Structure 1
Amino acid sequence: MERMPSGEPRWELNFDERGGMSTPDRDRFLDEVAAENPATLFFFSHGWGTAHDAAKSLYDAMFPMLRDAAVAAGLPKPGFAGIFWPSLWFPPTPAVAPAMAGVAKPQSRTAEVSGADIAASLAPGFSDPDQQKALAELGELLDAPGDPAVSTETEAERERVVGRIQELISSIAAPAGDAEPEDSGELSLLLNENPKDAFQRTAKVFGSEGAGAGAQGIGDWFGRAVNGAKDAVRVLSYNVMKTRAGDIGRTGLGPLLADLHTRAPAVRAQLLGHSFGARLVSFALAGVGAPDRSPVTSLLLIQGAFSHLSFAPAQGNPFGRPGALNGFGDRVHGPLLATFSPFDWAVGVWYPRASFLTGAGPEAEADGRWDAMGKDGYQHVDPAADIRIPLGAFDFRPGTYYRVDAGDVINNVKDSSFGGAHSDIRKPEVAALAAAAARPV
Structure 2
Amino acid sequence: MSSSAHDPDTTRTRWAIAFDADGGEADGGQCARVADAARAAGVRDLVLLAHTAHNDAETTADVDARFHALFTDGTADGGPGLVSVHWPGMRFGPEPGLTDATEAALRRTFPGQDQLIADLRSLVDERPRQFSAVDDVGMLLRRLVEEPLHAPAAAYATDMGDELLPQSDPAMLFDSTSHVCEGFARALEQAQEEAERAEQRPERIEQPGRGPEAPTVSKHGTLTEAETAGPRPADAPTDWLARPDPLTPSARPFGSAESERALDRLWDGAHQLLCQVVSYAVRRRAGMIGEGGLAPALGQLAEALPDTRIHLVGHGAGARLVAYAARGLKEATGGPASVTLLQAALSHFAFAAHLPQQMRGGGALAGVAQSVAGPVVCAYSHHDRELGLLFPLASRMIGESPSLVGADRLWGALGYDGVQGVDGCPTLTLADALAEDALPSSGYVSVDASAVVRGGVPPQGAHFDVFHPELARLVLAAGRIER
Normalising by structure 1, we get a TM-score of 0.80
Residue 167 of structure 1 aligns with which residue?
A: 139
Deviations 1:166-212 (A, max 9, x none): 221111225364323628886211134x43444444433444999xx
Matches within 5 A, 1:318-397: 320-356=360-396, 360-361=401-402, 363-365=404-406, 368-390=409-431, 391-397=434-440
Amino acid at match of 1:188: A
Mean Cα deviation higher: 358-367 or 14-23: 358-367
Is the Cα–Cα contact under 8 Å of residues 88 and 121 in structure 1 kept in the other structure? no
CA distance in 1, matches of 2:277, 2:286: 14
Equivalent residue runs for 1:278-289 within 5 Å: 278-289=319-330
SS in 1 for 2:312: strand
Provide the secondary structure at the position in 2 that maps to 1:12: strand
> Is 2:354 the counterpart of 1:308?
no
SS in structure 1 of the partner of residue 337 of structure 2? strand
**Secondary structure of the equivalent of 1:322?**
coil
- Mapped pair 1:143 → 2:147: no
Matched, 1:407 2:450: yes
1:186/1:354 contact within 8 Å kept: no
In structure 1, C-alpha distance between the alignment counterparts of 2:58 and 2:33, rounded to whole Å: 23
SS of 2:14 mapped into structure 1: strand
1:246–1:37 Cα change, 3 Å: farther
Provide the C-alpha distance between the structure 2 equivalents of 1:244 and 1:319, rounded to a whole number of angstroms: 28
**Counterpart pick for 1:266 among 300, 307, 310:** 307
Q: What is the one-letter code of the residue matched to 2:23?
A: G
Name the amino acid aligned to 2:29: D
Q: SS of the counterpart of 2:54?
A: coil
Q: In structure 1, what is the equivalent of residue 62 of structure 2?
A: 57
Residues 69 and 242 (structure 1 numbering): CA distance in 2 closer, same or farther, change over 3 Å? farther
Q: Return the letter of the residue paired with 1:305.
A: A
| Residue in structure 1 matched with residue 296 of structure 2 by the alignment | 255
2:194 aligned residue? none
1:43-54 matches, cutoff 5 A:
43-54=48-59
CA distance in 1, matches of 2:338, 2:34: 21
Distance 1:317 1:311 in 2: 14
Residue 67 of structure 1 pairs with residue 49 of structure 2: no
* 249-258 or 388-397, larger mean C-alpha shift: 388-397
Deviation at 1:70, TM superposition (A): 11
Aligned length: 399
SS in 2 for 1:41: strand
Contact 2:39 2:305 in 1 (8 A): yes
Contact 1:312/1:380 (<8 A) preserved:
yes
Aligned to 1:102: none
Contact 2:355 2:363 in 1 (8 A): no
Equivalent residue for 1:38?
A: 43
Structure 1 counterpart of 2:245: none
In the alignment, what sits opposite 1:103? Answer: none
For 1:70 and 1:167, how far apart are their aligned partners in 2?
Answer: 55
Q: What are structure 2's unaligned runs of at least 5 residues? A: 162-166, 191-248, 251-255
Name 1:13's counterpart in structure 2: 17
Task: Give yes or no for contact 2:393–2:408 (8 Å, CA) kept in 1.
Answer: no
Q: TM-score, normalised by structure 2?
A: 0.74
RMSD of aligned alpha carbons: 3.2
Report the 3-state secondary structure (helix = DSSP H, G, I; strand = E; otherwise coil) of the residue aligned with 2:18: strand
Query: What is the letter of the counterpart of residue 377 of structure 1?
Result: G
Q: Look up the match of 1:432.
A: 473
1:249 and 1:283 in contact (8 A); partners too: yes
Residue identity over aligned pairs, in percent, reads: 26
Structure 1 CA distance for aligned equivalents of residues 372 and 74 of structure 2: 21
Amino acid at match of 2:68: F
Residue 245 to residue 70, structure 1, CA distance change in 2 (3 Å): farther
Equivalent residues in 2 for 1:202-241, closer than 5 Å: 202-207=184-189, 219-220=259-260, 222-241=263-282
Tell me the SS of whatever aligns to 2:405. Answer: helix
- What one-letter code is carried by the residue in structure 2 that aligns with 1:396? L
Aligned partners of 1:311 and 1:324 also within 8 Å: yes
1:294-316 CA-to-partner distances (Å, cap 9, x unmatched) read 2x111110111121111111253
Call closer, same or farther: CA 1:36–1:431 in 2, change over 3 Å.
same
Counterpart CA distance in 2 for 1:408 and 1:262 is 39
- Greater shift after overlay, 44-53 or 21-30? 21-30
User: Distance between the aligned counterparts of 1:13 and 1:434, measured in 2?
Assistant: 20
Equivalent residue letter for 2:87: W
* Contact 1:186–1:235 (8 Å) recurs in 2: no
Mean CA deviation greater in 181-190 or 234-243: 181-190
In the alignment, structure 1 residue 3 sits paired with structure 2 residue 6: yes
Q: Following TM superposition, by how much is the alpha carbon of 1:292 offset from its aligned partner in structure 2, in angstroms?
A: 2.2
Once the two structures are TM-superposed, the CA of residue 222 in structure 1 deviates from its matched residue by 4.8
Q: Is the 8 A contact 1:339 1:404 kept in 2?
A: yes
Tell me, yes or no, if structure 1 residue 78 matches structure 2 residue 80.
yes
- Partners of 1:225 and 1:342 in 2: CA distance: 27
Amino acid at match of 1:387: L
Aligned: 1:187 with 2:170: yes
What secondary structure does 2:299 align onto? Answer: helix
Partner of 2:237: none
How do 1:108-119 and structure 2 match up within 5 A? 113-114=96-97
- Where 2:47 maps in the other structure, the secondary structure is strand
Shift of 1:259: 1.0
Show the counterpart of 2:339.
299
